[in-house]
Structure 1
Amino acid sequence: MFNHILLQTPVPRDLPLDLPLPKEVLIVLLVFSFLLHILFVNLMVGGSILTLWSQIKGLKNKDYDTLAHEIAETITVNKSLAVVLGVAPLLSINTLYTVYFYSANALTGIFWISVIPLVTVAFLLTYAHKYSWKILENNKALHISMMGLSVAIFLFIPLIFLVNVNLMLFPEKWNTIEGFAHALTLPNVFPRYFHFLLASLGTTGLFIFWYFGRKSYDFESHFTTLTRYEIRKKAYSLTFGASAAQFIIGPVVLLTLPTKGFSWHLIFTIGIGVIFALPAMYWIWKGITGKAEDIANNFWKVALTLGLTITFMGSGRHIYRATALAPHQKLVEAKTIAYKKEVKEATEEMKNAPAEKPASDNPGEAIFQAKCSACHAMDVKVVGPPIKEMVSIYKNDAKGLHDWILKPGKKRPDYPQMPALGLSEQEINDVANYILEQK
């Protein structure tokens, strides 16, 4: 069935250019740089959501407003790192999957292009929100609205990216997709998106747990009612809840993905990631339910094991992509080989073609070919009389031929009037001499 669908799929030829690095190196670079990039994207998205939530709660409890301000301080840094670290995976995926990436770009159209202005607006809003905290102290509705709009944009941008990258995997859908909104209807889009949101909240919870737990952080000078333990427990609980939800939605993501990308290698890789997540969940739960002074005992174990989980999950993403696209890539490769063969044959044909006859050194012949050959041939009538007939008329009257070329007229009813050629005196003499030299 899939092979039948594949036959109906657009198959462009690839760019016949060598990769700048070995393919294996580019794959490692893509996976590693993407994981770094998505880490700070998670912190940016999750941080903005928690800032909004905390600031709304801060309307009744001043300490939550302080918490919102402290988290907001990190958003602008994390979003800058997310953008900078996004360059490497973007270049890598462009290089490895050029045909697929740009085809998806074209299908998502204006929404893909809108990422740039949306990112710009969101960044400006986060900076404005951060630096207007005191200025808008008495206008919380406006201040919270700024963060609310930032959150909305930060939530929409990843959805655009996800739809675009998702379309890369399904060239068999390219003939049927009619824009961004239509691409949203693919069954695996929203499960993957919700999985991303949960990852953002879980990662941010872990970050906040570390951030407010630092010994160098003067907690008591910022907060009056909330304790360090309370904030860290809430952060740990957020990570636990988001991770537990991922265990539920993860299988949904897999079940909604087309089976064409599945392999035992993929199942093994994801399985290893899940195995590493299990002790992390246990240690987090132990920290939440244990004594306050013991809450951070296993933090670095949690960070390490969840980091390994993310690494294996990121590798699984690439394995699925490579497996899903392999059949189509073979078709593209065959078309590219055929194209290269055609180019080589055309090049050889040009090399072996007989050399063109060099242009004559006779200026009269050159003028005749340029100005006269459309109407006159050697011995047959084309529009005007043949050259041989001209020679028979003017062989002893070179001046007569000269005057005729200078000021042509109409002599015979079965021939059209010859137009004036606009030649110089020298050109007329040259072409007249050439005509009279013909036998």
Structure 2
Amino acid sequence: MINSLLISLQTNIPTPVPKDLPLPLPLPEWLLIIILVISFLAHLVFVNLMLGGTLLTLWSQIKGLKDKKYDLLAKEIASTITVNKSIAVVLGVAPLLSINVLYTVYFYSANALTGLVWIAVIPLVTIAFLLTYLHKYTWKVFENNKAVHISILGLATVILLFIPFIFLTNINLMMFPEKWAVVKGFFNAMMLPNVFPRYFHFLFASLAVTGLFLFWYMSRKNYEFENLLPGFTRYDIQRKGYSLALIASICQMLIGPIVLLTLPSKGMGWNLILIIFTGVAMAIPAMWMMWKGLQASRENIGKNFYKVVILMSITVVFMGSGRQIYRANALEPHQKLVKLRTEEFEQTRKIAIENSKNQISDENNTDMSLAEKGKKVFNQYCAACHKPKDRLVGPPVTEMVAIYKDDVEAMKKWIKNPGKKRADMTQMPGFPQIPDDQLNELTEYILTINN
């Protein structure tokens, strides 16, 4: 039954179906999923802050060429990038390990298909991080050569913008095994429908999170605002932070439907729709509070700030859970096939071990009859596809007996070089490697099976 199901599925669809590693998970699956979702979201927040901070620093420093106060703002934002980067790296270990354990076959298959670009993540991340440190600690060195200083950050920004493309492409590709046979490298995988919408959704998320972060960071009472940012008031920065977070959140809302529409329907389900719309329901009042804060007086702009953060955090949790639900829905059918393939492999392995033991026993038992020896040969070469009286992948042995009982030589020729007689059955492979003495034993055994 397992063989028949697998072969028919693989005949009708081009999806690769590998066998899994028959190893137990180190923790219960539900616990690993919780760890994956929570650790990934924590990691993602600091990735957002790192990328959003880099973009805002670059924008502020360019604007600072004409207005000195923006250069000071760029310096203050830049001081947060390397800290957020370090936290992002540390928090990235847990989700990477979790996804490797939960989706080993899928994650590593996607990595292999994107090849050198995936491997390039390590040097690219290293170069980008070193550039951010160089930019941070050479502010005075390049004070009179801003073009060079800005170019350092510009290069780091380009690299940091490209790295998420690599991760998003791989995570997207791992969910669609049906694409593995047609994808030709990273840039081909990058053109799959859902990659770019998810990428721009991620960029706007980075700006929204960074906007809220700067609102909080520069509103702290112990932050020496007047000394560090002359030319600005706290209210100015608070408005800029809220405005950025609100505009970026609106852009996310607009891109969200495109993200959903470009996702293949195989992963959709009512559980996913419910999670997504619940997340949206949490974000809308948060956006309304930001809008009201922008209309409020200086004293009241931050009145609902922590409510906004809480609601947005809940939204992030729901959206992160939605990603996991879609991934689970999309991969479930393929995982069932892999499970069948694994079970088939285990069964074949057990038969091979048993046959090996039997072969040793046969060699020590010269008194065994031809039919008894033939049964061992049958188990070695034929039992995976044929049963004595029931159809499996091929017809039952009793049908062979009915056809070849009066022509043993024809049976031997068929076993060595079979043709295709039935359109509804899989083409039988030939067995020219079976020695003549074992072939005699095999046919003798087959003919002993009664109709």
TM-score, structure 1 as length reference: 0.79
Structure-to-structure mapping, 1:160-199, within 5 angstroms: 160-199=166-205
Residue 315 of structure 2: aligned partner: 309
Deviations along 1:74-127, one digit per CA (max 9) or x if unpaired, are 100111111111110000000000010011001111110000000000000000
Residue 50 of structure 2: aligned partner: 44
Residue 422 of structure 2: aligned partner: none
After superposition, the CA RMSD in angstroms is 1.5
Residue 295 of structure 2: aligned partner: 289
Deviation at 1:345, TM superposition (A): 1.6
- SS of residue matched to 1:37: helix
Amino acid at match of 1:262: M
Deviation at 1:348, TM superposition (A): 2.5
Structure-to-structure mapping, 1:11-50, within 5 angstroms: 11-50=17-56
Residue 142 of structure 1: aligned partner: 148
Structure-to-structure mapping, 1:220-369, within 5 angstroms: 220-355=226-361
Residue 419 of structure 1: aligned partner: none
- SS of residue matched to 2:100: helix
Residue 67 of structure 2: aligned partner: 61
Counterpart-to-counterpart distance in 2, 1:276 and 1:205: 18
Q: Does 1:205 align with 2:211?
A: yes
Deviation at 1:4, TM superposition (A): 9.0
Counterpart-to-counterpart distance in 2, 1:119 and 1:347: 48
Q: Does 1:154 align with 2:160?
A: yes
Amino acid at match of 2:73: L
- SS of residue matched to 1:172: helix
Structure 1 stretches lacking a partner, 5+ long: 358-439
Amino acid at match of 2:36: L
Amino acid at match of 1:129: H
Deviation at 1:227, TM superposition (A): 0.9
Structure 2 stretches lacking a partner, 5+ long: 1-8, 365-451
Deviations along 1:54-84, one digit per CA (max 9) or x if unpaired, are 0011111111111101110110011111111
Q: Does 1:86 align with 2:117?
A: no
Off by >4 Å, runs of 4+ in structure 1: 3-6
Deviation at 1:6, TM superposition (A): 7.3
Deviations along 1:254-286, one digit per CA (max 9) or x if unpaired, are 000000000000000011101110110111011
Deviation at 1:344, TM superposition (A): 1.5
Contact 1:209 1:236 in 2 (8 A): yes
Residue 111 of structure 2: aligned partner: 105
Amino acid at match of 2:334: H
* Aligned with residue 72 of structure 1, among 78, 81, 88: 78
Counterpart-to-counterpart distance in 1, 2:308 and 2:169: 31
Counterpart-to-counterpart distance in 2, 1:225 and 1:87: 41
Residue 136 of structure 2: aligned partner: 130
Deviation at 1:185, TM superposition (A): 1.4
Counterpart-to-counterpart distance in 2, 1:223 and 1:177: 51
Q: Classify 1:123/1:6 alpha carbon distance in 2 versus 1 (closer, same or farther; 3 Å).
A: farther
Contact 1:198 1:245 in 2 (8 A): yes
Counterpart-to-counterpart distance in 1, 2:229 and 2:66: 14
Amino acid at match of 1:71: I
Counterpart-to-counterpart distance in 1, 2:14 and 2:143: 60
Q: Classify 1:5/1:192 alpha carbon distance in 2 versus 1 (closer, same or farther; 3 Å).
A: farther
Q: Classify 1:187/1:5 alpha carbon distance in 2 versus 1 (closer, same or farther; 3 Å).
A: farther
Q: Classify 1:5/1:241 alpha carbon distance in 2 versus 1 (closer, same or farther; 3 Å).
A: farther
Deviations along 1:116-161, one digit per CA (max 9) or x if unpaired, are 0000000000000000001110110000000001110000000000
Q: Answer with 348-357 or 245-254: which moved more.
A: 348-357
- SS of residue matched to 2:360: coil
Counterpart-to-counterpart distance in 2, 1:158 and 1:118: 11
Q: Paired residues, what number?
A: 356
Counterpart-to-counterpart distance in 2, 1:6 and 1:161: 31
Contact 1:163 1:183 in 2 (8 A): yes
Counterpart-to-counterpart distance in 1, 2:12 and 2:182: 13
Q: Aligned residues: percent identity? A: 63
Q: Which has the higher Rg, Structure 1 or Structure 2? A: 1
Counterpart-to-counterpart distance in 2, 1:140 and 1:39: 30
Deviation at 1:354, TM superposition (A): 3.4
Deviation at 1:183, TM superposition (A): 1.1
* Aligned with residue 122 of structure 2, among 107, 116, 126: 116
Counterpart-to-counterpart distance in 1, 2:42 and 2:353: 46
Q: Classify 1:177/1:5 alpha carbon distance in 2 versus 1 (closer, same or farther; 3 Å).
A: farther
Contact 1:6 1:328 in 2 (8 A): no
Deviation at 1:201, TM superposition (A): 0.3
Counterpart-to-counterpart distance in 2, 1:56 and 1:32: 36
Deviation at 1:352, TM superposition (A): 3.9
TM-score, structure 2 as length reference: 0.77
Counterpart-to-counterpart distance in 1, 2:357 and 2:25: 29
Contact 1:287 1:296 in 2 (8 A): yes
